Structure 1
Amino acid sequence: MSTKEVVPVRPDEDDDPPSLVEPPTWAAGEEVPPGVATTEPLTRSRTVTRRRVPYPGTPEGAFFHYTPEEASWFLPWSALQLKRKAYAREIPFNEGGARVTYTGRDICEISLMTAVRPLAETVQQRAS
Protein backbone atom coordinates (compact mmCIF):
# COMPACT_ATOMS: atom_id res chain seq x y z
CA MET A 1 0.00 0.00 0.00
CA SER A 2 1.54 3.29 -1.04
CA THR A 3 1.04 6.51 0.84
CA LYS A 4 0.25 9.61 -1.14
CA GLU A 5 0.80 13.09 0.15
CA VAL A 6 -2.44 15.07 0.00
CA VAL A 7 -1.80 18.55 -1.33
CA PRO A 8 -4.66 21.06 -1.33
CA VAL A 9 -5.25 22.83 -4.63
CA ARG A 10 -5.53 26.56 -4.02
CA PRO A 11 -7.10 29.04 -6.44
CA ASP A 12 -4.87 31.75 -7.87
CA GLU A 13 -4.30 34.50 -5.35
CA ASP A 14 -5.21 37.15 -7.94
CA ASP A 15 -8.73 35.80 -8.42
CA ASP A 16 -10.07 36.59 -4.95
CA PRO A 17 -9.52 39.39 -2.45
CA PRO A 18 -7.00 38.41 0.24
CA SER A 19 -9.61 38.91 2.98
CA LEU A 20 -11.55 35.80 1.93
CA VAL A 21 -10.74 32.31 3.12
CA GLU A 22 -11.67 29.35 0.98
CA PRO A 23 -11.44 25.85 2.39
CA PRO A 24 -8.89 23.64 0.64
CA THR A 25 -10.02 21.43 -2.24
CA TRP A 26 -8.31 18.35 -3.55
CA ALA A 27 -7.57 17.41 -7.13
CA ALA A 28 -9.76 14.79 -8.77
CA GLY A 29 -8.80 11.26 -7.86
CA GLU A 30 -7.00 12.16 -4.63
CA GLU A 31 -8.24 10.86 -1.32
CA VAL A 32 -9.61 13.41 1.12
CA PRO A 33 -8.06 13.03 4.60
CA PRO A 34 -10.34 11.62 7.31
CA GLY A 35 -12.26 14.24 9.27
CA VAL A 36 -12.41 16.74 6.41
CA ALA A 37 -15.93 17.74 5.47
CA THR A 38 -16.70 17.55 1.78
CA THR A 39 -19.58 18.63 -0.40
CA GLU A 40 -20.59 15.00 -0.94
CA PRO A 41 -24.12 14.18 0.26
CA LEU A 42 -24.25 12.78 3.80
CA THR A 43 -27.78 11.50 3.31
CA ARG A 44 -30.36 11.91 0.59
CA SER A 45 -31.72 15.10 2.15
CA ARG A 46 -28.62 16.65 3.73
CA THR A 47 -25.44 17.90 2.11
CA VAL A 48 -22.51 19.79 3.55
CA THR A 49 -21.89 23.12 1.85
CA ARG A 50 -19.18 25.64 2.57
CA ARG A 51 -19.36 29.37 2.19
CA ARG A 52 -16.51 31.79 1.71
CA VAL A 53 -15.75 33.73 4.85
CA PRO A 54 -13.59 36.81 5.55
CA TYR A 55 -10.62 36.64 7.92
CA PRO A 56 -11.59 37.62 11.48
CA GLY A 57 -8.95 40.38 11.69
CA THR A 58 -10.26 42.31 8.68
CA PRO A 59 -12.95 45.02 8.74
CA GLU A 60 -15.30 42.68 6.83
CA GLY A 61 -14.75 39.93 9.38
CA ALA A 62 -15.16 41.99 12.55
CA PHE A 63 -18.95 41.62 12.63
CA PHE A 64 -19.30 38.55 10.42
CA HIS A 65 -20.91 35.61 12.26
CA TYR A 66 -18.88 32.41 11.96
CA THR A 67 -20.30 28.97 12.69
CA PRO A 68 -18.31 26.84 15.14
CA GLU A 69 -16.99 24.84 12.16
CA GLU A 70 -15.75 28.02 10.47
CA ALA A 71 -14.31 29.42 13.71
CA SER A 72 -12.35 26.21 14.24
CA TRP A 73 -10.28 27.10 11.13
CA PHE A 74 -8.81 30.02 13.09
CA LEU A 75 -8.73 28.61 16.64
CA PRO A 76 -6.90 25.66 18.23
CA TRP A 77 -10.09 23.71 19.02
CA SER A 78 -12.57 21.63 17.07
CA ALA A 79 -16.13 22.81 16.43
CA LEU A 80 -17.47 20.51 19.15
CA GLN A 81 -14.95 21.83 21.69
CA LEU A 82 -15.89 25.41 20.77
CA LYS A 83 -19.59 24.65 21.34
CA ARG A 84 -18.87 23.01 24.69
CA LYS A 85 -16.72 25.94 25.82
CA ALA A 86 -19.47 28.36 24.76
CA TYR A 87 -22.16 26.44 26.67
CA ALA A 88 -19.88 26.43 29.73
CA ARG A 89 -19.38 30.20 29.29
CA GLU A 90 -15.60 29.78 29.05
CA ILE A 91 -15.23 31.81 25.84
CA PRO A 92 -17.12 34.75 24.29
CA PHE A 93 -19.81 33.88 21.72
CA ASN A 94 -23.16 35.00 20.30
CA GLU A 95 -26.42 33.14 20.76
CA GLY A 96 -28.68 34.89 18.28
CA GLY A 97 -31.35 32.63 16.82
CA ALA A 98 -30.59 29.98 19.49
CA ARG A 99 -27.38 29.04 17.64
CA VAL A 100 -23.81 29.47 18.81
CA THR A 101 -21.87 31.80 16.51
CA TYR A 102 -18.67 33.78 16.83
CA THR A 103 -17.93 37.21 15.40
CA GLY A 104 -14.47 38.11 14.15
CA ARG A 105 -14.00 40.11 17.35
CA ASP A 106 -14.88 37.04 19.43
CA ILE A 107 -12.34 34.95 17.53
CA CYS A 108 -9.63 37.59 18.03
CA GLU A 109 -10.46 37.82 21.75
CA ILE A 110 -10.34 34.03 22.15
CA SER A 111 -7.02 33.98 20.33
CA LEU A 112 -5.65 36.61 22.74
CA MET A 113 -6.95 34.58 25.71
CA THR A 114 -4.85 31.60 24.62
CA ALA A 115 -1.68 33.63 24.00
CA VAL A 116 1.26 32.93 26.29
CA ARG A 117 3.38 35.97 27.10
CA PRO A 118 7.18 35.72 27.33
CA LEU A 119 8.56 35.14 30.80
CA ALA A 120 10.42 38.47 30.80
CA GLU A 121 7.14 40.38 30.43
CA THR A 122 5.53 38.37 33.23
CA VAL A 123 8.42 39.06 35.61
CA GLN A 124 8.34 42.81 34.83
CA GLN A 125 4.59 42.99 35.53
CA ARG A 126 4.98 41.25 38.90
CA ALA A 127 7.86 43.55 39.90
CA SER A 128 5.82 46.72 39.26
Structure 2
Amino acid sequence: MTTPRATQSPRKRPAPKIRENLPAPQTPEGLLFHYTPYEAAQWTPFSGRTLADILAAKKTDYVFNGRDNYITGAQIVALVEAYTVRSFSKPAKSAA
Protein backbone atom coordinates (compact mmCIF):
# COMPACT_ATOMS: atom_id res chain seq x y z
CA MET A 1 0.00 0.00 0.00
CA THR A 2 1.33 3.45 -0.88
CA THR A 3 0.86 6.64 1.06
CA PRO A 4 -1.40 9.29 -0.42
CA ARG A 5 0.20 12.28 -2.13
CA ALA A 6 -0.14 15.75 -0.74
CA THR A 7 -2.66 17.85 -2.61
CA GLN A 8 -0.84 21.14 -2.16
CA SER A 9 -0.61 23.37 -5.19
CA PRO A 10 2.90 24.25 -6.40
CA ARG A 11 4.37 27.44 -4.98
CA LYS A 12 3.83 30.39 -7.28
CA ARG A 13 6.16 33.37 -7.41
CA PRO A 14 4.67 36.86 -7.41
CA ALA A 15 4.91 38.85 -10.61
CA PRO A 16 8.00 41.07 -10.75
CA LYS A 17 7.43 44.73 -9.96
CA ILE A 18 8.05 47.11 -12.83
CA ARG A 19 8.51 50.79 -12.04
CA GLU A 20 6.54 53.41 -13.96
CA ASN A 21 7.85 56.30 -16.09
CA LEU A 22 11.20 54.71 -16.89
CA PRO A 23 13.56 56.72 -19.11
CA ALA A 24 14.35 55.20 -22.48
CA PRO A 25 17.85 53.66 -22.64
CA GLN A 26 18.89 55.89 -25.58
CA THR A 27 18.28 59.14 -23.65
CA PRO A 28 21.08 60.82 -21.65
CA GLU A 29 19.42 60.02 -18.31
CA GLY A 30 18.60 56.48 -19.46
CA LEU A 31 22.18 55.58 -20.39
CA LEU A 32 23.17 55.44 -16.69
CA PHE A 33 19.82 54.32 -15.27
CA HIS A 34 19.75 50.82 -13.71
CA TYR A 35 16.94 48.61 -15.04
CA THR A 36 15.87 45.22 -13.74
CA PRO A 37 15.82 42.49 -16.40
CA TYR A 38 12.02 42.62 -16.50
CA GLU A 39 12.06 46.41 -16.99
CA ALA A 40 14.75 46.20 -19.69
CA ALA A 41 12.90 43.47 -21.62
CA GLN A 42 10.63 45.96 -23.38
CA TRP A 43 13.65 47.37 -25.26
CA THR A 44 15.40 44.06 -26.01
CA PRO A 45 14.50 41.11 -28.24
CA PHE A 46 14.21 38.92 -25.09
CA SER A 47 11.58 38.28 -22.45
CA GLY A 48 12.28 39.34 -18.88
CA ARG A 49 12.97 35.77 -17.77
CA THR A 50 15.33 35.11 -20.67
CA LEU A 51 17.19 38.36 -19.99
CA ALA A 52 17.47 37.42 -16.30
CA ASP A 53 18.91 34.04 -17.32
CA ILE A 54 21.42 35.73 -19.66
CA LEU A 55 22.59 37.99 -16.82
CA ALA A 56 22.79 35.11 -14.35
CA ALA A 57 24.87 33.09 -16.82
CA LYS A 58 27.18 36.13 -17.25
CA LYS A 59 26.80 36.12 -21.04
CA THR A 60 26.71 39.93 -21.19
CA ASP A 61 27.79 42.89 -19.09
CA TYR A 62 25.59 43.83 -16.14
CA VAL A 63 25.62 45.54 -12.75
CA PHE A 64 25.48 43.45 -9.54
CA ASN A 65 24.73 45.30 -6.31
CA GLY A 66 25.35 42.36 -3.99
CA ARG A 67 21.78 41.08 -4.22
CA ASP A 68 20.20 41.79 -7.61
CA ASN A 69 21.30 41.99 -11.24
CA TYR A 70 20.70 45.23 -13.11
CA ILE A 71 21.47 46.40 -16.62
CA THR A 72 22.17 50.02 -17.56
CA GLY A 73 20.75 51.81 -20.56
CA ALA A 74 24.16 51.80 -22.27
CA GLN A 75 24.36 48.03 -21.78
CA ILE A 76 20.85 47.63 -23.23
CA VAL A 77 21.86 49.61 -26.32
CA ALA A 78 25.01 47.46 -26.71
CA LEU A 79 22.99 44.25 -26.26
CA VAL A 80 20.47 45.27 -28.92
CA GLU A 81 23.24 46.23 -31.34
CA ALA A 82 24.94 42.86 -30.77
CA TYR A 83 21.76 41.01 -31.78
CA THR A 84 20.86 43.31 -34.69
CA VAL A 85 21.21 41.63 -38.08
CA ARG A 86 22.58 43.98 -40.72
CA SER A 87 21.61 43.62 -44.35
CA PHE A 88 24.35 42.51 -46.69
CA SER A 89 25.53 44.96 -49.33
CA LYS A 90 28.15 44.26 -51.96
CA PRO A 91 31.22 46.49 -51.93
CA ALA A 92 31.44 48.99 -54.75
CA LYS A 93 33.72 48.01 -57.64
CA SER A 94 36.82 50.10 -57.95
CA ALA A 95 37.68 51.63 -61.33
CA ALA A 96 41.29 50.42 -61.55
Calculate the TM-score normalised by the size of structure 1: 0.54
Q: Which segments of structure 1 move beyond 6 Å, counting only runs of 4 or more?
A: none
Offset of residue 79 of structure 1: 1.1
| Residues 109 and 49 of structure 1, relative CA distance in 2, 3 Å threshold | closer
Deviations 1:14-63 (A, max 9, x none): xxxxxxxxxxxxxxxxxxxxxxxxxxxx6xxx994633210000001010
Question: Which one has a bigger Cα radius of gyration?
Answer: 2
The answer for the alignment partner of 2:8 in structure 1 is none
| Equivalent position SS for 1:97 | coil
Select which of 11, 32, 44 maps to 1:63. Answer: 32
The 1:116–1:51 alpha-carbon spacing in structure 2 relative to 1, beyond 3 Å, is same
Do structure 1's residue 105 and structure 2's residue 74 form an aligned pair? Answer: yes
Higher RCO structure, 1 or 2 (CA under 8 Å, sep 6+): 2
Give the deviation of 1:115 after TM superposition. 0.7
Work out the CA distance in 2 between the residues paired with 1:51 and 1:100.
Answer: 19
SS of the residue corresponding to residue 66 of structure 2 reads helix
Deviation, 1:113, is: 0.4
Q: Percent identity?
A: 31
* CA RMSD after TM alignment: 2.1
Gaps of at least 5 residues in structure 2 are: 1-13, 92-96
Name the CA shift for 1:85/1:58 in 2 (closer, same or farther; >3 Å): same
Normalised to the residue count of structure 2, the TM-score between the two structures is: 0.71
Q: How has the CA–CA distance of structure 1 residues 106 and 49 changed in structure 2, closer, same or farther, with 3 Å as cutoff?
A: closer
> Are residue 116 (structure 1) and residue 85 (structure 2) matched?
yes
Q: 1:48 to 1:58 in 2, by over 3 A?
A: closer
Aligned residues: 78
